Structure 1
Amino acid sequence: MADGLAVTQAGGYAGMLEAADPWCLRPGEAAALLAGHPWRRFAVLGDSVAAGLGDPVPGYVELSWCDRIRAELAGVRPDLAYLNLGERDLRAAEIRQRQLDPALRFAPDLVLLAAGGNDALRRSYDPDAVDGELAAMITALRASGAEVITVGMFNVSYAPSFPDPVKHLVRERMDMLSARTARLAARLGAIHTDCSGHPAERDPGSYSADGIHGNLRSHGICAALTVRRLGVFLGNTFPA
């Protein structure tokens, strides 16, 4: 112990709030769920969700969710190589244009792709076009030999920044993006992590001061959901 903080396998410190949070990883859970994983090169593509924007929360590990996943993977394989290409404000087509080739050059065997949110937040959202961009990236990455994690994001219509008159419009588009991404992942053989619909998305305390990006508590929750999904993929379990 150090100042009342418990060391996690991710190499950080989990305060008592995170240790008691039922939606975050339990001690030893990630090690059990990721035991024997084969991945040595982990890449992340996407927008601000991938880049890891989020305010710190006292009592929670100060790592974004993708950095948390990297740390947990490295807990099993310390030589894990990591590349995060995430950049805020990008739409799906821009992510493909700017990040796909660098990701392929990195030659990852595991990729997390978080894209489409900035498309869905706009009235100009074209679901078929976003599906096409996601499919192109997933297909290219899987053809290169990588397993691909897709994401159903928190529905940010519940965030404090959205005025009531537009909440239902944003909610419908974000729900559509999550549902279509899940179907696309199933069709293309990706590993889908579904954060959409989680109770924490409705909690104003899950968001940063900007009123739209999740804070590091929500990052911890999404990291836990992703690690648990990888555990299912690997066939590993952790006692309740």
Structure 2
Amino acid sequence: MEQPVLTEATDPFCLDQADAVAQLTGAPWGRYAVIGDSLSAGTGDPTPGYRDQGWSDRLAGILREVRPDLEYLNLSEIGATTARTLEAQAARMVAFAPDLLHVPCGANDIVRRKPDFDEIERTLRQMYDLAKGTGALLTTFTLGRAYVVPVFPDWPERIAAVNEIVRGLASEYGALVVDMWDHPVNDRDNLLSEDRIHFSTSGQAVMAAEMVKKLAGSLGRTTSA
């Protein structure tokens, strides 16, 4: 079946700016930091009908309307593994003293011939220990099933394994998880960028909306599904 052509204004999974701001009105966060890789940065190709902006910058813009004095620091680096994030970004993250902090989900840790999932969990745990030590509310997300690397026949199993690690650590450390693994947006033909890895800006808009809903839920707000 041919999928309908959506725009940001008609996409049922998006929030317009006013609705997003309303959901987070009164939110306490004034120092928002993002660490990790290109997924944290919100890298993605433009989608016609959608604002050309990644999810993390979108969320910062919404939070800045709630708190005009918001300080925002995005340290994300394309290609960064969790180990690289710890090495190159952790010190600046701690020095920034965030009260809201997004941590990555290990996507680049599984792009190797034979991932060591025990080592991945240990390294992610080090990151969570540092992140939790800032006192910030932590957020993260799982990888969507639309993300496929054909050269690795076991890629779905790799995604499932790292997603389970992320869910487990998030539960242990009290992080909010936006679970994108089976989100309906995965079924869209135009979800992925040309590289077949990153969400296009249509997906970035959905990610931002899901983050807003998750944060609103942490404030005790009732949000639409």
TM-score by length of 1: 0.85
What does residue 208 of structure 2 align with? 223
1:106-117 alignment runs, 5 A limit: 106-117=96-107
CA contact (8 A) 1:121 1:173 kept: no
Provide the secondary structure at the position in 2 that maps to 1:32.
helix
CA contact (8 A) 2:55 2:205 kept: yes
The answer to whether the aligner puts 1:192 opposite 2:177 as a matched pair is: yes
Q: 1:141 aligns with which of 131, 140, 143?
A: 131
What does residue 67 of structure 2 align with? 77
Letter paired with 1:21: D
The answer to whether the aligner puts 1:181 opposite 2:183 as a matched pair is: no
Provide the secondary structure at the position in 1 that maps to 2:8.
helix
Q: 1:151 aligns with which of 141, 151, 154?
A: 141
CA 100–26 in structure 1, closer or farther in 2 if over 3 Å, else same: same
What does residue 105 of structure 1 align with? 95
Deviation at 1:239, TM superposition (A): 6.1
CA distance in 2, matches of 1:141, 1:226: 18
TM-score by length of 2: 0.90
CA 206–46 in structure 1, closer or farther in 2 if over 3 Å, else same: same
CA distance in 2, matches of 1:93, 1:173: 18
What does residue 3 of structure 2 align with? none
CA distance in 1, matches of 2:75, 2:144: 21
Letter paired with 1:230: L
CA distance in 1, matches of 2:158, 2:22: 36
CA 208–239 in structure 1, closer or farther in 2 if over 3 Å, else same: closer
CA RMSD in angstroms comes to: 1.8
Deviation readout 1:150-209 (Å, 9 max, x if unpaired): 211223544xxx43x73x511111111112201111011111111121122243311112
CA distance in 2, matches of 1:133, 1:195: 22
CA distance in 1, matches of 2:193, 2:165: 27
CA distance in 2, matches of 1:42, 1:93: 22
CA 171–157 in structure 1, closer or farther in 2 if over 3 Å, else same: farther
Provide the secondary structure at the position in 2 that maps to 1:82.
strand
CA distance in 2, matches of 1:58, 1:139: 40
1:1-16 alignment runs, 5 A limit: none
Letter paired with 2:134: S
User: For structure 1, which segment, 90-99 or 16-25, has the greater mean C-alpha deviation from structure 2 after superposition?
Assistant: 16-25
Deviation at 1:64, TM superposition (A): 0.4
What does residue 205 of structure 1 align with? 190
Deviation at 1:115, TM superposition (A): 3.4
Provide the secondary structure at the position in 1 that maps to 2:103.
strand
Letter paired with 1:231: A
What does residue 157 of structure 2 align with? 172
CA contact (8 A) 1:50 1:86 kept: yes
What does residue 29 of structure 2 align with? 39
CA contact (8 A) 1:41 1:109 kept: yes
Q: Percent identity?
A: 37
CA distance in 2, matches of 1:239, 1:131: 33
CA contact (8 A) 2:45 2:193 kept: yes
What does residue 111 of structure 2 align with? 121
CA 64–27 in structure 1, closer or farther in 2 if over 3 Å, else same: closer
CA distance in 2, matches of 1:136, 1:149: 16
Deviation readout 1:1-40 (Å, 9 max, x if unpaired): xxxxxxxxxxxxxxx7111101111463312321211111
